[in-house]
Amino acid sequence: MTDKAVRIELAGVSWEAGGRPILHTVTARVEPGETVGLIGPNGSGKSTLLRCAAGLRAPTAGAVRYDGQHIGGWSARRIARRVAFVEQTPEAESDLRVDQVVALGRTPFRDRWRGLTATDDAIIDAALERLDLGELRTRPWRTLSGGERQRAHLARALAQRPWGLLLDEPTNHLDIRHQLELMELLAATGQTVLVALHDLTLAARYCDRLLLLHGGALVAAGTPEEVLTPDRLREVFRVAAEVGRDGLGNPAVAYRGVSSRDASDTCEDTKP
Ligand SMILES: Nc1ncnc2c1ncn2[C@@H]1O[C@H](COP(=O)(O)OP(=O)(O)OP(=O)(O)O)[C@@H](O)[C@H]1O
């Protein structure tokens, strides 16, 4: 679906707020065309890391590189020509129609004084179709449900024709069909994808690799099988869980419940 995919590198990225460290020297790479899931409990730093990767937050130490180029000092327009970011709670474009929201994805490529070209229109139509929004295209934004808004923001991101997609919990408002469709779409784009997810089974099934954040530090990186172990789920998420395959052979996490033990304990209670 795209000719180009970007390599996104985080090289020792740290970020502080009010003197409090939020991210601690995170080093990770998302290779061109890879779908990488960013997982971790509430407050572990996923959104902060994505905002650094999208150039919206300047790291207090370290660097973000796209295809080896340090993006510090790049304009928002230059970044948006390379990478699209869908935030967790996107701002409400209350007076716009859905197709106008999606058309905003063409802004980085448009001459300020010119309208949309036929190519822009075709790209917008394709993005609306991909996100199942054809029938909603003329609806006022404010009338959309949460899931419809989320899909419209994803369509806007696709309309950017980016080389990389950064997505912060893009499935949290979606029904199960649209969750599966979205994850399949991400896997099929050919673009580089870094996606924060809370649903570990979805992450395990659709991501090539996972990055696990805990307290602002990267504590594990690897394939879903390597990262999602019962010990880690207990230490980091404080749940007792089994990791295996579902009836269809897909990777799945089965939760026994919250873990009652300290993170420092062994994992005897997760054994059958
Ligand atoms: N501007 C800020 N000022 C102070 N603290 C901040 C700021 N931004 C983020 N934080 C804190 O940094 C930590 C990480 O926040 P972040 O939103 O990155 O976590 P997250 O993993 O995305 O969480 P969630 O799963 O709940 O969305 C949290 O404790 C949050 O309160």
- The CA distance from 235 to 263, in Å, is 4
Nearest to 210 by CA among 14, 46, 99, 75: 46
Judgement on whether residues 201 and 260 belong to the same structural domain of the protein? no
Predicted TM-score of the model (pTM)? 0.91
Residues 233 and 221 in one domain: no
DSSP H helical ranges for the chain: 46-53, 76-80, 98-103, 118-130, 146-159, 176-188, 200-206, 224-227, 230-232
* DSSP string covering 36-98: EEEE-STTSSHHHHHHHHTTSS--SEEEEEETTEE-TT--HHHHHTTEEEE-SSPPP-TTSBH
pLDDT in tens, 213-268: 999 999 999 999 999 999 999 999 999 999 999 888 888 899 999 987 554 444 44
**What's the pLDDT at 53?**
98
Structural domain includes residue 127: no
Domain total in the chain:
2
CA distance 51 to 36: 16
Dist. CA 81–CA 62, nearest whole Å: 23
Q: Measuring from atom 9 of ligand 1, which residue has the nearest CA? A: 48
Whole-number Å distance, alpha carbon 237 to ligand 1 midpoint, is 16
Find tokens 């609806």 and name the residue. Answer: 139
Q: State whether ipTM is beyond 0.95.
A: yes
- Contact between 90 and 154 under an 8 Å Cβ cutoff? The reply is no
* Ligand 1 atom at minimal distance to the Cα of residue 216: 14
Tokens standing for 161?
């024709």
Q: What is the pLDDT of residue 269?
A: 38
pLDDT tens, residue order, the chain (272 aa) = 456 899 999 999 999 998 899 999 999 999 999 999 999 999 999 999 999 999 999 999 999 999 999 999 999 999 999 999 998 865 666 789 999 999 999 988 877 777 888 999 999 999 999 888 999 999 998 888 888 888 899 999 999 999 999 999 999 888 998 899 889 988 888 899 999 999 999 999 999 999 999 999 999 999 999 999 999 999 999 999 999 998 888 888 999 999 875 544 444 433 33
φ/ψ bin of 40: left (φ > 0), alpha (ψ from -120 to 50), beta (otherwise):
left
Residues 87 and 12 in one domain: yes
The pLDDT value given to residue 16: 96
Same domain membership, residue 264 and residue 175: no
13 three-state secondary structure: strand
**89 shares its domain with 174:** yes
Residues 25 and 66 in one domain: yes
How many A from CA of 17 to the centre of ligand 1? 10
Instruction: For residue 112, tell me if it sits in a domain.
Output: no
Neighbours of 226 (CB within 10 A): 12
Q: How far is the CA of 1 from the centre of ligand 1 (A)?
A: 33
Residue 124 lies in a domain: no
- Supply the range of the domain harboring residue 243: 229-272
Q: Which residues contact 247 (CB under 8 A, 6 or more apart)?
A: none
Instruction: Verify that 218 and 251 share a domain, yes or no.
Output: no
Q: Which of 193, 210, 228 is the last residue of a domain?
A: 228
Are 12 and 86 within one domain? yes
- Within-domain flag for 129: no
Residues 33 and 87 reside in one and the same domain: yes
In this prediction, residue 107 carries a pLDDT of: 85
pLDDT score of 115: 81
**108 inside domain:** no
Residue located nearest, by CA, to atom 2 of ligand 1: 17
CATH code: domain of residue 221: 3.40.50.300
Which residue's CA is the nearest one to ligand 1's atom 25? 42
Distance 38 CA to ligand 1 centre (A): 14
The whole-angstrom separation of Cα 203 and Cα 243 is 13
- 8 Å CB contact between 183 and 206: yes
CA of 47 to the centre of ligand 1 (A): 7
Residue with tokens 């609306």: 128
Distance 70 CA to ligand 1 centre (A): 24
- Structure tokens of 268? 């005897």
My answer on whether 84 and 170 are in the same domain is yes
Contacts of 35 (CB under 8 A, 6+ apart): 186, 187, 193, 195, 206, 207, 208
Q: List, chain by chain if needed, residues with CB within 6 Å of any ligand 1 atom.
A: 17-18, 22, 40, 42-48
* Tokens standing for residue 240: 């007792």
Q: Is residue 46 part of a domain?
A: yes
Whether residue 110 is contained in a domain is answered as no
Whether 244 and 172 map to the same domain: the answer is no
Assess if residue 257 is contained within a domain.
yes
- Ligand 1, residue 213: give the atom nearest the CA: 21
What pLDDT, on the 0 to 100 scale, is given for residue 27?
98
- Are residues 169 and 81 part of one domain? yes
From 44, 49, 57, 200, the mutation candidate for ligand 1 (largest count of ligand atoms within 8 A of CB) is 44
Angstrom distance (rounded) from CA 223 to CA 210: 6
Residue closest via CA to ligand 1's atom 12 equals: 22
Query: Ligand 1 centroid vs 210 CA: distance in angstroms?
Result: 20
Separation of CA 134 and ligand 1 centre (Å)? 35
Name the residue of 13, 24, 47 whose CB sits within 8 Å of the most ligand 1 atoms, as the mutation to test its pocket. 47
